[in-house]
Amino acid sequence: MNDKRKSQKLLGCLCTLMSVWMLQGCASSTKPLAAVNVPANLTEPCPALSPLKGSTGADILPWAVGVVEKYNDCARRHSALVKAVGE
């Protein structure tokens, strides 16, 4: 009878230890992200592209230059935002 009681006590202890051990996996091991102070101009959406009006070179060239300028501005802000959040 004594062996049965020891076995039950050991089993109860093992169950408790297993429960505690399994709960350790739920503990957060990552640090929360700190608040990032992002400049307002980096969170603005990219400007809409104007529609192409005409099909001649005189129409396409100024439109394409404007598109490239808008893209470069948007890409610059996106890169700055990625850098600000990544630090």
Res. 70: pLDDT tops 90: yes
Half-sphere exposure of 34 (CA within 13 A, CB side): 7
Which of 74, 52, 72 is CA-nearest to residue 63?
52
Q: Which residue has the higher pLDDT, 20 or 87?
A: 20
Inside any domain, residue 64: yes
Residue 57 pLDDT > 80: yes
In a domain, 31, yes or no: no
Q: Determine if the pTM surpasses 0.75.
A: no
Query: What Cα–Cα distance (Å) separates residue 33 from each residue in 27, 37, 38?
Result: 16, 12, 14
**Separation CA 65–CA 82 (nearest Å):** 26
Question: Could you give the number of structural domains in the chain?
Answer: 1
Calculate mean pLDDT across residues 69-75: 93
- Domain of residue 15: give its range: 2-26+36-86
Q: Please report whether residue 63 resides in a domain.
A: yes
In the predicted model, what is the mean pLDDT of residues 22-51?
Answer: 77
14 within a domain of the structure (yes/no): yes
Question: What integer pLDDT is reported at residue 38 of this predicted model?
Answer: 82
- Confirm whether 65 is domain-assigned: yes
Q: What is the pLDDT of residue 1?
A: 59
**Res. 80: pLDDT tops 80:** yes
